[in-house]
């Protein structure tokens, strides 16, 4: 199919409200009707007001143009044919021996599960893992089929989900590696069984952390942050774009399973093709970001932040997740690479200044999986294709140089760079503490199997020696309610933050939850949570995607160029509930100011003091006596979505304050559970 050349069409600025002296730009921006066709040079299918465009996207690294059938809403794949990697078998056994081994394994595991012994579920689960390990060691390529058979036999999931989860091209080959290489009867096995079901094994306790010799030098006495220069720049924070090029307007927006706003889903009680709630052109609450919404957000940035014309933001931090939330059988390397090229190209075009991205858990394939280099043979390099790709794209866009790009290739897409203002930005691949990266269940007693946190220590020590200030960027947050990361790695991260704060680390940034949140880091592992001990802040950026039940949003910081502390933070949002009523032939959506962080909580805070950990400690202290401040924070958490549950109870307020004071999974898990996310009704455990 020949790509179509489309004439240039630039959007006009439309100010829906007057400029305010208390905000950096206009207070609201309504996107012009139609699609800014200049965003891409050619299209397979040109944009129309009833359907998403299909750009003919060229990848300058791979030197290919992605085919239309990769993203065409009518041709969504159901299998992933990318290469899979298995551990080297201990011996070559015959087909008959393999068949006998598989039958014996199935019989043994069935016997273990169905036995009437007094053994605990945890003991049974690890015994079953031991049987699976034998198969993984001698017949690794047969493990995925065995896992599917067991999943179906014990109705662990539906038959379709069993195949989606355990097929070789999905997570089956990954679980084979885990079985072969993990200590399945020890701590690794406890983590694996707890991941499979909390009814199998209880969550393991945090391992003792030995920090002897961990840091090259002791922390300087009376370590303090440098003074502010008084000069400020604007810095943009974008997160969780989750581009969905397969979005189909007028398809089902309230589907019963999977990612909605797709041609292959339906509502409860319907069949594919029937539509109960038509997907609006610009997006919906159970859907990822269509091109129309992504471009609307990018167009709104300049007028809202006051950086259009000859000015621009000084730099942008992007805290990960480019790819849509497809089921694994619909994903592929090519689909990941497509999202990387598309979104980074749009950032370069619409933002203009340097962008410093991190990889999110969805920016890999299989999703959330990254392998430490220490795995044997080719297993340790099985995701190098992705690190090579993004490093090359970042270099070609002028955001990092060749030396830093090579560093990113080595360190799983992570890098350390000194920006044009003298701030050192250190990025991390946080899949190495994400609980859904199943390869993290190999050698769980080591909190830094990948060496990622050792890389962070070395870079922070060099920054301390050079008297540099540092921002740390990651994707999966290290704490909050503790539901996303693993205990041991984030416990180590907390100690690193303590060692190099407040004099080196100025701020930390995450994404992942799609929600607007913060985390305070304290001295001495948060044992005394006071202003005197509050060291550094972790900002969790709001997402561009509305998934799930959220509005779309982004943030900008006003940053001092001496201390690199944040003195103001503005957040904007677009009301997704208004999208069904838009007359798209006349107008696009509106992005508007949601709040100023300095003004929102009405605490007595000097204008000359930054919005740092001490500021947020003061906010949480005010929340303890004024629940309305917690309610306001809760509203902002969902970007003012009409679907955000209310946080009006004392139990909810107590939990939120605890989450805000929890910079590690260890601390977060100790908080009352059930109030962490605003994407559905709160669900605290019953007494």
Binding-site residues for Zn(2+) sit at 240, 242, 321, 361, 475, 512, 514
Instruction: Name residue 316's beta-bridge partners.
Output: 236, 355
- Alpha carbons 378 and 87: distance in angstroms, whole number: 9
Distance of CA 595 to the CA centre of its chain: 23
- Alpha carbons 618 and 96: distance in angstroms, whole number: 69
Q: Are 400 and 325 in contact (CB under 8 A)?
A: no
List Cβ neighbours of 578 (8 Å cut-off, separation of 6 or more). Answer: 589, 590
Helix, strand or coil, per DSSP, at residue 189: helix
CA distances, 165 to each of 148, 184, 194, 195, 328 (Å): 8, 20, 17, 14, 7
Q: CA nearest 132: which of 98, 170, 102, 171? A: 102
Q: Tokens for 435, please give them.
A: 């609980």
Output the DSSP codes for 295-341: HHHHHHHHHHHT--TT---SEEEE-S--B----GGG--HHHHHHHHH
Over the Cα atoms of the chain, what is R_g?
Answer: 25
Instruction: Name residue 554's beta-bridge partners.
Output: 572
> What is the tally of helices (H) and strands (E) in the chain?
17, 18
Q: CA nearest 643: which of 544, 555, 554, 577? A: 577
- Alpha carbons 432 and 358: distance in angstroms, whole number: 13
- Alpha carbons 51 and 561: distance in angstroms, whole number: 44
Return the number of other C-beta atoms located less than 10 Å from residue 290's C-beta: 28
- b/e 404-441 (16+ beta carbons within 10 angstroms → b): bbebbbbbbbbbbbebeeebbbbbbbbbbbbbebbbbb
Output the DSSP codes for 608-624: TS-SSHHHHHHHHHHHT
CA distances, 393 to each of 92, 354, 401 (Å): 42, 13, 11
Q: Are 129 and 438 in contact (CB under 8 A)?
A: no
Which residue numbers belong to the known binding site? 240, 242, 321, 361, 475, 512, 514
252 DSSP assignment? B
- Alpha carbons 588 and 23: distance in angstroms, whole number: 23
Q: Are 78 and 66 in contact (CB under 8 A)?
A: no
Output the DSSP codes for 556-606: EEEEETTT--EEEEEEEEE-GGGGGG--TTTEEEEEEEEEEHHHHT-----
What H or E segment, with its residue span, contains residue 656? helix 650-660
Q: Tokens for 414, please give them.
A: 């992570």
- Alpha carbons 558 and 22: distance in angstroms, whole number: 13
Q: Provide the sign of the torsion angle of the four alpha carbons 203, 208, 213, 217, taken in this order.
A: positive
Q: CA nearest 187: which of 233, 108, 126, 127? A: 126
CA distances, 634 to each of 543, 603, 640, 643, 653 (Å): 15, 17, 9, 12, 9
- Alpha carbons 504 and 223: distance in angstroms, whole number: 9
């Amino acid at each position: 199919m020949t790509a179509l050349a489309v004439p240039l069409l630039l959007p006009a600025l439309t100010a829906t409200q007057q400029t305010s002296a208390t905000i950096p730009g206009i207070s609201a921006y309504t996107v012009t009707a139609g699609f800014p066709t200049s965003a891409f040079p050619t299209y397979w299918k040109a944009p129309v007001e009833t359907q998403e465009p299909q750009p003919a996207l060229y990848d300058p690294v791979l030197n290919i143009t992605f085919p239309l059938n990769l993203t065409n809403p009518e041709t969504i794949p159901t299998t992933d044919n990318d290469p899979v990697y298995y551990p080297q078998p201990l011996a070559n056994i015959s087909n008959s021996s393999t068949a006998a081994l598989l039958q014996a394994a199935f019989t043994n595991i069935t016997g273990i599960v169905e036995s009437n012994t007094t053994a605990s579920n945890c003991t049974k689960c690890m015994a079953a893992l031991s049987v699976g390990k034998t198969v993984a060691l001698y017949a690794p390529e047969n493990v995925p089929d065995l896992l599917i058979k067991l999943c179906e036999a014990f109705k662990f999931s539906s038959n379709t989900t069993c195949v989606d989860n355990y097929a070789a091209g999905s997570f089956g080959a990954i679980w084979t590696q885990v079985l072969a290489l993990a200590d399945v009867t020890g701590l690794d096995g406890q983590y694996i069984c707890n991941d499979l079901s909390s009814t199998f094994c209880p969550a393991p306790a945090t391992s003792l952390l030995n920090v002897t010799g961990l840091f090259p030098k002791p922390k300087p006495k009376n370590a303090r942050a440098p003074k502010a220069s008084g000069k400020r720049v604007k810095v943009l924070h974008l997160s969780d774009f989750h581009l969905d090029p397969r979005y189909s307007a007028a398809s089902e927006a309230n589907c019963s399973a999977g990612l909605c706003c797709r041609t292959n889903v339906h509502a409860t009680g319907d069949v594919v093709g029937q539509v109960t709630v038509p997907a609006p052109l610009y997006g919906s609450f159970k859907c990822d970001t269509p091109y129309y919404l992504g471009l609307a957000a990018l167009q709104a940035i300049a007028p809202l932040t006051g950086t259009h014309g000859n000015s621009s933001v000084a730099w942008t931090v992007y805290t990960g997740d480019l790819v849509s939330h497809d089921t694994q059988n619909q994903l592929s390397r090519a689909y990941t690479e497509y999202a990387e090229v598309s979104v980074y190209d749009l950032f370069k075009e619409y933002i203009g200044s340097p962008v410093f991205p991190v990889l999110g858990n969805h920016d890999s394939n299989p999703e959330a999986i990254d392998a430490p280099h220490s795995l044997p043979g080719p297993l340790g390099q099985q995701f190098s294709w992705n690190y090579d790709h993004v490093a090359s794209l970042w270099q070609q866009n002028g955001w990092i140089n060749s030396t830093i790009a090579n560093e990113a290739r080595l360190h799983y897409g992570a890098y350390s760079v000194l920006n044009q203002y003298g701030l050192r930005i250190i990025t991390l691949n946080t899949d190495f503490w994400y609980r859904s990266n199943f390869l993290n269940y190999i050698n769980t007693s080591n909190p830094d199997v990948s060496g990622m946190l050792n890389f962070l220590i070395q870079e922070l020590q060099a920054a301390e020696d050079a008297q540099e200030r540092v921002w740390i960027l990651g994707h999966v947050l290290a704490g909050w309610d503790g539901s996303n990361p693993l205990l041991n790695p984030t416990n180590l991260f907390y100690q690193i933050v303590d060692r190099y704060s407040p004099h080196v680390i100025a701020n930390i940034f995450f994404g992942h939850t799609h929600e607007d949140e913060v985390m305070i880091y304290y001295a001495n592992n948060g044992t005394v949570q006071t202003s005197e001990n509050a060291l550094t802040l972790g900002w969790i950026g709001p997402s561009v995607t509305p998934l799930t039940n959220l509005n779309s949003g982004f943030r900008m910081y006003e940053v001092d160029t001496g201390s690199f502390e944040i003195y103001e933070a503005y957040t904007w949002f677009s009301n997704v509930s208004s999208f069904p009523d838009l007359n798209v032939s006349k107008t696009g959506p509106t992005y508007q100011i949601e709040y100023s962080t300095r003004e929102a909580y009405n605490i007595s805070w000097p204008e000359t003091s930054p919005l740092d950990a001490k500021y947020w400690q003061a906010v949480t202290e005010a929340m303890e006596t004024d629940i309305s401040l917690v309610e306001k924070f809760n509203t902002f958490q969902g970007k003012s979505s009409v679907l955000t549950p209310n946080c009006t109870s004392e139990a909810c307020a107590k939990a939120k304050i605890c989450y805000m004071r929890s910079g590690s999974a260890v601390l977060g898990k100790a908080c009352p559970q059930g109030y962490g996310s605003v994407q559905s009704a709160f669900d605290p455990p019953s007494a």
